[in-house]
Amino acid sequence: MKRGLPTTQKSLSRFVRDNWFKLLLVLLALYIFFQKDLSFQVNFRSPVHPDTEGEPPAQVERAGKREKFTLRKGSEKKELFDLSSAFNPTRKEPNLSDLLASVNEETKLAYLKRFARVALVEQKKFGIPASLILSDALWHSTAGKANWAQTGNNHFAIPCTENWPGESGQYNGKCFRHYESAWSSFRDNSLFLSKNWRDALPFETGVNYKSWAAALAKGPYAQETGVENALIQLIETYQLYELDELP
């Protein structure tokens, strides 16, 4: 019995050595067969919804992911393209008084000192109160910090018109004129009021800043709220009415 065992081992080793490639193919075939059988058993035992019976589970899983992606995209789309607020008549424009209140006093005083002489020149030439001009510029430009003032030198938020030959820019959905300098903005404001709104403004009644503030609120700035009170408050807070008495 012991002598036959080495002979058998030698024969087996010789067989494996001579047929190792065929044996490798047989083992590979058996591996593939058992893998397919295992996959079949797993799929067969997986729960299948009645509405999706017959569909591979992988497709059901992909459909679930696609549904979540659609929901996320839908929420983003609603946020990006919801224009209900744009057509809401009660939507508020940026409050210029609040914006100006956020500017420190040093900046506001520096702005008033910088353009006081310009306002006096415009008062002498066009009869518009210097206090009104200066408070108007301070308010509409947020002491020179507003985008249209910094980018376009527009200190009065003067809008574009059909006959405006100069450059312009879009701000908050509105078109505002652009100027080469701040002085050009002050001069164009005087021309704009004296030519386009002369009949609506008290040019013939002197330099009473209160009557001018009321007229501006009903005329050029009729679409803005709080203009009259804002201008009067600024004039009286900084005593700008003293400029109106200067020669």
Q: Taking a C-beta distance cutoff of 8 angstroms, is the pair 131, 243 a contact?
A: yes
User: Which residue has 């109160």 as its token pair?
Assistant: 129
pLDDT of residue 240: 96
142: left (phi over 0), alpha (psi -120 to 50) or beta: left
Which amino acid appears at position 103 of this protein?
V
pLDDT of residue 206: 73
Mark the ranges of the chain whose per-residue pLDDT is less than 70. Answer: 1-12, 16, 20, 31, 33-94
pLDDT of residue 246: 87
Domains and their CATH numbers in the chain: 4-81 (no CATH), 96-244 (1.10.530.10)
Average pLDDT, the chain: 77
How many alpha carbons fall within 13 Å on the CB side of residue 74? 6
CB atoms within 10 A of CB 187: 17
Closest CA to 178 of 203, 204, 149, 207: 149
Instruction: List the end-to-end C-alpha distance of the chain, in Å, as a whole number.
Output: 138
Phi and psi angles of residue 131, each rounded to the nearest 5 degrees, phi first: -65, -40
What is the Cα–Cα distance from 226 to 96, expressed in whole angstroms? 9
What is the Cα–Cα distance from 30 to 10, expressed in whole angstroms? 26
pLDDT of residue 131: 96
| 130-140 helix and 227-237 helix, angle to the nearest 10 degrees | 110
What is the Cα–Cα distance from 122 to 128, expressed in whole angstroms? 7
CB atoms within 10 A of CB 177: 25
pLDDT of residue 8: 64
pLDDT in tens, 54-103: 343 343 333 343 333 233 333 333 332 333 333 344 445 568 889 999 99
